[in-house]
Amino acid sequence: DSHASPSGGTLKLAVIPGDGIGQEVTAEALKVLEVAAPADVKFETTRYDLGAERYLATGEVLPDSVLAEIREHDAILLGAVGGKPNDPNLPPGILERGLLLRLRFELDHYVNLRPSRIFPGVVSPLANPGDVDFVVVREGTEGPYTGNGGALRVGTPHEIATEVSVNTAFGVERVVRDAFSRAQRRPRQKLTLVHKTNVLVNAGAVWWRLTQEVAREFPEVTVDYMHVDAAMIFMTTDPSRFDVIVTDNLFGDIITDLAAAITGGIGLAASGNVNPDRTTPSMFEPVHGSAPDIAGQQKADPTAAILSVSLLLDHLGHTEAAAVVEAAVIADLAERDVATTRRTAEVGDAIAARVGG
Amino acid sequence: DSHASPSGGTLKLAVIPGDGIGQEVTAEALKVLEVAAPADVKFETTRYDLGAERYLATGEVLPDSVLAEIREHDAILLGAVGGKPNDPNLPPGILERGLLLRLRFELDHYVNLRPSRIFPGVVSPLANPGDVDFVVVREGTEGPYTGNGGALRVGTPHEIATEVSVNTAFGVERVVRDAFSRAQRRPRQKLTLVHKTNVLVNAGAVWWRLTQEVAREFPEVTVDYMHVDAAMIFMTTDPSRFDVIVTDNLFGDIITDLAAAITGGIGLAASGNVNPDRTTPSMFEPVHGSAPDIAGQQKADPTAAILSVSLLLDHLGHTEAAAVVEAAVIADLAERDVATTRRTAEVGDAIAARVGG
Ligand SMILES: CC(C)[C@H](C(=O)O)[C@@H](O)C(=O)O
Ligand SMILES: CC(C)[C@H](C(=O)O)[C@@H](O)C(=O)O
């Protein structure tokens, strides 16, 4: 297929800078991609203006024709989407459900990949974080994120609203298998399932059963289980114990923000919305939002967007280029002077220079 | 009614020590209650053996007749329930759903109250936690905890399992109002709603709407909203910003373990399952579990159970006695020598002595 050619040629990249700081950090990410791409690979980028601004101007969130075009690319780079908080013209969830989640669901991004490392020189809010290097494999197409559920007697004292978490053996097994195969390729070969099997007994049973079943295919991997509430405790008191975490869509959302926080903040957290079957383009994005309060001021840290480029290159088979970008970020972080604030473009320039040099 | 007499007389207390360290910490909690109770108040305790041990021996979780008896008490003190992890004879959720959650639901404990403070002398895993003193008002009778949902084609590759989060205007409004009234009585008068309105749009809309509506009754209270994932970040980087947090059952479960972790661990976290309408007995318990690995060794810290006694006294209207217990705990914590480990009973004795003296 055309979505993962690891050899030379032209790769089609759909770029969705989005809103607020999404624009600024994406510019830096592309700057780094430009210099990082292997000599025989050309990235042909198409920019799609989607997000709050477009919605407020046109009422469009993600037109079907645009989705069809995006689908024809090899990968997607996304900045951040979201308007001003509590903008009365932006109903809650309209962009999240209509754009971000629609892309994840339509393109079957069932692996939401979120690496967490404390890089040298980075300050954690934890007093003694230890040597933190784990990756969360968050399910991306099921769970409480499906949009199932509804509401009755809305706005009245008799309103009832439901949200249905949908968990299928098909959906759970494939993400669990992906997580195991990642665990197997890592030095510590450890996998922790995070769920709430003692309360969410139906969903919990599927996750538990399939984790045990798939484990048999990966005898080298040590398997561990932790309730999501207990995970909060270990994440703050002993985060170095984690290697690969596999979990559902909502727990993964929550855990990865905590993981980002303890490893130095969401300014550094990259993510991939991956379809490991490579039948559709995977999408790479920083975990942070559009931060409208600091937008357009060159105050945003583009590091997470740049690390997302590293994940993108890796996914496309350009492992070496991916490693070079990551190494450049690590070197930049190690030498950052916390007393000096650099403009967004300065950070991008510095990392691009390291990649190029 | 009989469930909250604030004046003298006999109060009937149902005690469920439960399993593992539940037994040991409850003994200390009762020791402190004994000396803390006002002179004209007598606590008449009835012990109920419920939990893993009873289930494994008899197959009984919470017989209806026992529930009916417990209902006739003024309050309940619970230690912890739960057997050995992965005991094949203990199906996941059997005790949680059948005992703990059944009590919360049958007795309509719609306010699950979890105060979080960093007491002097207590070490937080955060490098700079600041002055942390907030309370989480977790909804206790709805959300993803209702047991709604089910599974089809169980154990097959076509299994589908659902969990339904149920949110009613009735259920949300009453807990939100309780949270506001607590916020109003606190010096900072601040309330933060934590939810995920951008994804769980149906449930989110009810929580959002009723928070805005009830806010009008409490003009002194400042209202704030935070997505649950963002709450992870603020909880680890700026926890002193919180005053009262109101949230749903599952988010509350997750957040309060994080809150416990950053304020020194679940060894110190107390909770009340409260029916503010006082038509049923409220239940007080430490947040921690039964810790079978250290059970019976006098290694458990009974502080959370003792602080739960303070919440119990406060709920029953014995505000002064409640404050005395809390002050005794604070004094004990401030003078704890981290190098010396005390036995469970020694901690109880020390705190009881301070209360008595
Ligand atoms: C914006 C929101 C829909 C999204 C999510 O909940 O997945 C974000 O929090 C994330 O983690 O990527
Ligand atoms: C044991 C479990 C059912 C319970 C919960 O999820 O509420 C516990 O974690 C708690 O927080 O009290």
Nearest to A156 among B154, B155, B169 (CB): B169
A48 annotated active-site = no
Q: Which of A32, A26, A34, A30 is nearest to A79 (CA)?
A: A26
| Mutate-to-test residue for ligand 2 from B19, B97, B99, B101, highest number of ligand atoms within 8 A of CB | B101
Which amino acid does the sequence have at A318?
H
Asked if residue A145 is part of any domain, the answer here is no
Catalytic residue check, B145: yes
Decide if A150 is inside a domain: no
Assigned domain for A157 exists? no
Domain-embedded: residue B311: yes
Taking the C-alpha atoms of residue B13 and residue B272, their distance in angstroms, rounded to an integer, is 14
Please indicate, yes or no, whether residues A255 and A283 belong to a single structural domain of this protein.
Answer: no
The answer to the question of residue A154 being in a domain is no
Residues B281, B227 share a domain: no
Mean pLDDT for A126-135 is 98
State the CATH number of the domain containing residue A172.
3.40.50
Residues B356 and B282 both lie in one domain: yes
Question: Are B233 and A201 inside 8 Å of each other by CB?
Answer: no
Residue-number span of the structural domain to which A173 is assigned: 124-140+168-263
Residue A337 has a pLDDT of 85
pLDDT reading at A182 higher than 50? yes
Same-domain check for residues A287 and A322? yes
DSSP 8-state code for residue A122: P
- The strands making up B41-47's β-sheet, listed across from edge to edge, are B41-47, B9-18, B75-80, B282-286, B270-274, B111-117, B133-139, B244-247, B190-195, B222-227
| In a shared domain, residues B76 and B14 | yes
pLDDT in tens, A221-279: 999 999 999 999 999 999 999 999 999 999 999 999 999 999 999 899 999 999 999 99
Domain-located, residue B36: yes
B296 inside domain: yes
Q: Which of residues 242-281 of A touch B (CB under 8 A)?
A: 250, 253-258, 260-262, 265-266
Give pLDDT < 50 ranges for chain B: 1-2, 4-5
Can you give the pTM of this predicted structure?
0.96
| CATH code of the domain containing B340 | 3.40.718.10
Asked which of A263, A292, A327 is the last residue of a domain, the reply is: A263
Number of structural domains found in chain A: 2
Pairing assessment for the beta strands B41-47 and B9-18 based on DSSP bridges: parallel
H helix and E strand count, chain B: 12, 12
Helix spans in chain A (H)? 21-36, 52-58, 64-71, 94-95, 101-106, 169-184, 201-215, 228-237, 249-262, 303-315, 319-335, 344-356
AA letter at B127: A
Residues B198 and B234 in one domain: yes
**Model confidence at A357: pLDDT above 80:** no
Cα diameter, chain B? 65
Q: CB of B205 within 8 Å of any CB in chain A?
A: yes
Interatomic CA distance for residues B32 and B30, integer angstroms: 5
- Residue pair B149/B162 in contact (Cβ under 8 Å)? The answer is yes
Select the residue of B124, B173, B232 nearest A257 (Cβ to Cβ).
B232
Is the pLDDT at A127 greater than 70? The verdict is yes
For A22, the token pair is 């999404």
Q: Are residues A129 and A60 in the same domain?
A: no
Q: Which amino acid is at B288?
A: H
Please list every protein residue whose CB sits less than 6 Å from any atom of ligand 1: A 96, 100-101, 253, 287; B 198-199, 229
Interface test with B, best of A154, A201, A249, A255 (most B CBs within 10 A): A201
Burial class (CB in 10 A: 0-12, 13-18, 19+), A7: exposed
Q: If you count them, how many residues does chain A have?
A: 357
Radius of gyration of chain A (CA): 20
- The torsion defined by the Cα of B313, B314, B318 and B321, in degrees rounded to 10, comes to 70
Q: Which of A156, A196, A206, A268 to mutate to test the interface with B (most CBs of B within 10 A)?
A: A196
Least reliable range by pLDDT among A103-107, A315-319, B81-85, B169-173: B81-85
The residue of chain A with its CA nearest to that of B228 is A254
Q: Looking at A236-294, which runs of residues are DSSP E strands?
A: 244-247, 270-274, 282-286
- Return residues 138-157 of B near A (CB < 8 Å): 144-145, 147-151, 153-157
Q: What is the DSSP string of B37-79?
A: S-TTEEEEEEE---SHHHHHHHS-SS-HHHHHHHHTSSEEEEE
Within this chain, do residues B146 and B210 fall inside the same structural domain, yes or no? yes
The average pLDDT across A173-194 equals: 98
Residues B28 and B154 in one domain: no
For residue B1, the model assigns a pLDDT of 43
What is the rounded distance in angstroms from the CA atom of residue B284 to the CA atom of residue B278?
14
Measured between alpha carbons, how far is B32 from B21 in angstroms, rounded to an integer? 17
Per the annotation, does A253 bind a ligand?
yes
Phi, psi of B287 (to 5 degrees): -75, -25
Sheet of strand A222-227, all strands in order from the earlier edge strand to the far edge: A41-47, A9-18, A75-80, A282-286, A270-274, A111-117, A133-139, A244-247, A190-195, A222-227
Alpha carbon distance B242, B233 (integer Å): 12
| pLDDT at B309 (0 to 100) | 98
Residue A257 annotated among the catalytic residues of the structure: yes
Binding positions of B for NAD(+): 289-301
Ligand 2 centre distance from Cα of residue A265 (Å): 28
Are the beta carbons of B156 and A197 closer than 8 angstroms?
A: no
Task: Verify whether residue A55 is a known catalytic residue.
Answer: no
Average pLDDT over residues A55-68: 98
pLDDT > 90: what percent of chain A? 94
- Are B247 and B194 in contact by the 8 Å Cβ rule? The answer is yes
Domain identity same for A259 and A331: no
Residue B333 lies in a domain: yes
Residue B310 Cα distances to A309, B250, B328, B355, angstroms: 53, 25, 10, 11
Same domain, B258 and B304: no
Q: For the sheet containing A160-168, what is the strand order?
A: A149-152, A160-168, B160-168, B149-152
Question: What percent of chain A is modeled with pLDDT above 70?
Answer: 98
Residues B249, B281: Cα–Cα separation, whole Å: 20
Q: How does the average pLDDT of chain A come out, rounded?
A: 96
Residues B333, B214 share a domain: no
Of A263, A294, A310, the position where a domain reaches its end is: A263
Contact between A119 and A334 (Cβ < 8 Å): yes
CB contact under 8 A, B236 and A265: no
- Which pLDDT score is estimated for A339? 82
- Retrieve residue A273's tokens: 């919305």
Choose the final residue of a domain: A231, A263, A295: A263
| Minimum-distance CB partner of A199 among B93, B160, B261 | B93
Distance in angstroms (rounded) separating the CA atoms of residues A99 and A67 = 10
3-state SS class at A134: strand
Residue A1 has pLDDT above 50, yes or no: no
